Amino acid sequence: MEGQELPITPPPPLLPTQSNPPFFFLPSIPSSSLHPPPLDSPQVLNPEIDWVSLLISSGQVRLTDKKPMIESANNSTMAENIGSTSTTVNEDPEKGYYKDKRKAGRMKKATRPRFAFQTRSADDILDDGYRWRKYGQKAVKNSIYPRSYYRCTHHTCSVKKQVQRLSKDTSIVVTTYEGIHNHPCEKLMETLTPLLKQMHFLSSF
DNA sequence: CGACTTTGACCGGCGC
DNA sequence: GCGCCGGTCAAAGTCG
């Protein structure tokens, strides 16, 4: 884990815009909660908002192999849990995966866009509109809850996410995304498709 | 029967 | 070099 800090690519905007397809649109998130709390008080969570803090975004908190910045922000449990996740990428330079799957994920580290956030929820899995397949679960040191590993089920997409509940505050789930979806959000498309068809139909007059 | 989850084994990186 | 730990694989099991 020693080494230079990984350059963290800032995550895309959470709300879809014309220039940014809705890959990262998180449904049911009030716009008032789209900004993470100040770094010096990450433990102060607005109880009225489910989706509370986008901590590791916009460079405020960086996911690195070193001690994460958030630890200095008086929230060591989350810092440990997030910071201990190493970025291992099983990418073939051309295809995105190593052919030897056995070695996948254990090869040279590479930089990928990663970001994490907390949700206050009874469910570990938040419905972000994408379909995920669980491929592993591990007990994590200093945490009574295991960490679950998910991969996007889209055949061309290699986005992963890790989900873990905080042991200090069991109502908080930390979700870490790694990579960028290269396809639209399925649920969003499901919702939008009939609308778009109707618009297309109406515009033909 | 396909999609998905569970779970033990395996492997690489890192600290000591 | 060794042991610990995190991340992934893949066979077996489960579900709809």
- Over residues A38-73, the pLDDT tens digits come to 333 333 333 333 333 443 333 333 433 333 333 333
Strands, E assignment, A109-179: 114-120, 132-139, 146-152, 160-165, 172-178
Phi, psi of A31 (to 5 degrees): -60, -25
**Which nucleotide is the nearest neighbour of A98, by CA and C1'?**
C8
Which of A23, A15, A5, A6 has the alpha carbon at shortest distance from A182?
A23
Does strand B come within 7 Å of the CB of A41? Answer: no
pLDDT confidence tier of residue A190, bands split at 50, 70 and 90: low
Q: Is the pLDDT of residue A202 over 60?
A: yes
Q: Does residue A16 sit in helix, strand or coil?
A: coil
pLDDT of residue A187: 66
pLDDT of residue A147: 93
Look up residue A198 and give its two tokens.
């109707």
Q: What is the pLDDT of residues A93-136, one digit of tens each?
A: 333 333 343 444 444 445 567 788 788 877 777 777 888 999 99
Bridge-based pairing state of the strands A114-120 and A132-139:
unpaired
**Which nucleotide is the nearest neighbour of A105, by CA and C1'?**
C8
Alpha helices in chain A (DSSP H): 76-83, 186-203
Does strand C come within 7 Å of the CB of A140? Answer: yes
* Cα dihedral sign, A37-A43-A48-A53: positive
- Note the pTM of the prediction, 2 decimals: 0.61
Q: Is the pLDDT of residue A185 over 70?
A: yes
What average pLDDT does chain A have? 58
Q: Which of residues 130-189 of A touch strand B (CB under 7 A)?
A: 131-138, 148, 150, 153
Measured over all CA atoms, what is the biggest interatomic distance in chain A, rounded to whole angstroms?
64
- Inter-residue contact A117 to A12 (CB < 8 Å): no
